[in-house]
Structure 1
């Protein structure tokens, strides 16, 4: 089974007079990249939130939003008295120097930065556990979505592996006749360009073996079959994050296909190589979205 990196999850919980809404979105990415937008009440738990998401989602470009709606009675505000006093005495000193009155400046001072702010309290440990449960539920929903997306990806990728294997079987069927044809072509070339009475048959045999071995694709065929078999095995393995392994294995498959094409010296095999490369490129595109 494989997991896609694309997924969405949402969870909502309530505690006391408050409600907590968690939303997670995940897209494909080479590494784990998290963009976090959380309520100020959760700032002290930001590291915990990041660690939970990283552990559960592992890889991809992830967006997380956690909103806490405070319902019920009006919430108190916080006045920074020390800052307010500092502003006032600064204004009074300037007013004294300029012989101006510093009366009735309170309303203006209250509008200055950071004098008035919302209640700075954080959620309690008990409330955090509720938020954490919502976060875990949303992450589970993302992974469920990822698994469903992955099932469709797996079906498509397996079909393309089968197509490559079928084309390789076609190459294997062509190979014996290809060797005979290569030998005939070499002999014909020799007859046309070399004095028949003077050539050494033993040397000729050695040269034929050398050229036939030089263009032999048996090793590439064996390695390609092994890579495809391992790719299929890894694809079905009970392991969540394996996109990087699959991507590396596709590089090895591509290497064998390219070598086969360069050594083919046969029109039909080269046609099959082109078709195999086409399947391989489509697989690479799909693997980009595998966890």
Structure 2
């Protein structure tokens, strides 16, 4: 029998890597909208699209996001408006304006139209003018945007928790089925040598007819066979790996904040590899069709768990 485990202990303890969160903050003339999308990724990756005026606090943004996300790819989109921010100067891209005027003049000439440039056309040229706004104190800027980031990250975490519930439910079902098949393997492995002895004795009886069978020789043959197909050690290690997997989930609940940021998904993936290694060895050593069929079924369930683990943070 595999290790008993209360799966309810891990609900809302681990996170999926897939999720979305949105946060918004309004105060006076300030409005900030933050949207965060996370997807599967082997390690941690981060990208942000935000107005240039937020560049001074980008390190703070990165640190805050990293406190919530330890694994996966995070795409962050920030909209920030402060109507009280004054424009200190305007930069004109004269080269760009001239290039547009020349192109329009040439096109007009080619189709037989008269073109007389007017200054109002400048304002229709994309990116011809760049507003340079007065720099905002970094602490003030952070107080304007951090509430939206916190709200988005909390919403993201809640969604990732909900997704984790589905993952845990799937993993639980797989372990239940593994337990059933593994019980068959444990019980059958104890009878394989004796079944081999019976088959060997029956076969020799047919071949030797009424001649005396050398029981000592049969015992020696059975001993060699039993040693060759013994999977006791693999059974012990396989059960140990399952216990480690479930303990890893349980320990996640009591970890410190620093430890909790470490990726549990990578550790699970390693344990799954070890489980697969042990079950493969059982299949190659056990000279029994029932065990072989159970091994195949367990490998299928392990693969399902592996797919689920790929989405665990």
Q: Give the TM-score normalised by the residue count of structure 2.
A: 0.75
Separation in structure 1 between the aligned mates of residue 75 and residue 126 of structure 2, nearest angstrom: 31
1:4 match: 16
Shift of residue 207 of structure 1?
Answer: 3.8
Q: Residue deviations 1:37-86, cap 9 Å, x none?
A: 0111101112221222122111101110111124479x5361459x99xx
Equivalence for 2:31: 19
| Aligned residue runs from structure 1 range 1-291, under 5 A | 1=10, 2-71=14-83, 75-76=86-87, 78-79=89-90, 116-125=129-138, 126-187=140-201, 205-237=219-251, 238=253, 239=255, 240=260, 241-291=263-313
- 2:87–2:134 Cα contact (<8 Å) kept: no
CA distance in 2, matches of 1:138, 1:114: 31
Distance 1:167 1:185 in 2: 25
C-alpha contact (below 8 Å) 2:90/2:132 kept by paired residues: no
State how far apart, in whole Å, the 2-side matches of 1:290 and 1:134 are.
Answer: 26
User: Which has the larger Rg?
Assistant: 1
Alpha carbons 1:158, 1:232 under 8 Å: kept: no
How far is 1:236 from its partner? Answer: 3.0
Asked if 2 retains the 8 angstrom alpha-carbon contact of 1:41 and 1:121, the reply is: no
SS at structure 2 position matched to 1:119: strand
* Equivalent pair of 1:9/1:24 in contact (CA under 8 Å): yes
For residues 142 and 135 of structure 2, what CA distance do their matches in structure 1 show?
9
Deviations 1:106-165 (A, max 9, x none): x69x99999952123333232322312221221122111111111121121012112112
Superposition deviation, residue 263 in structure 1:
1.1
3-state secondary structure, aligned to 2:133: coil
Deviation at 1:256, TM superposition (A): 1.2
Distance 1:10 1:41 in 2: 21
Whether the 8 Å contact between 1:154 and 1:235 is mirrored in structure 2 is no
Secondary structure at the residue paired with 1:118?
strand
User: Displacement of 1:170 after TM fit?
Assistant: 1.2
The Cα RMSD (Å) is 3.3
For the 8 Å contact 2:54–2:141, the answer to whether it is kept is: no
CA distance in 1, matches of 2:232, 2:187: 12
In structure 2, the gaps of 5 or more residues are 1-9, 95-118
Is this contact kept in 1: 2:16–2:160, CA < 8 A?
A: yes
- Distance in 1, matches of 2:30 and 2:184, equals 66
- Taking the aligned partners of 2:55 and 2:187, their CA distance within structure 1 comes to 66
For residues 253 and 260 of structure 1, the distance between their equivalents in structure 2, rounded to whole angstroms, comes to 11
1:229 positional shift: 2.0
Work out whether residues 30 and 81 of structure 2, in 8 Å CA contact, stay in contact via their aligned partners in 1: yes
| Contact residue 78 and residue 116 of structure 1 kept, 8 A | no
CA–CA separation in structure 2 for the residues paired with 1:193 and 1:255 = 40
Deviation at 1:16, TM superposition (A): 4.0
Cα-to-partner distance string for 1:213-264 (whole Å, 9 max, x where unaligned): 1101111112212221221222233154311111111111111111111112
Q: Distance in 1 between matches of 2:64 and 2:269?
A: 27
Count of aligned pairs = 271
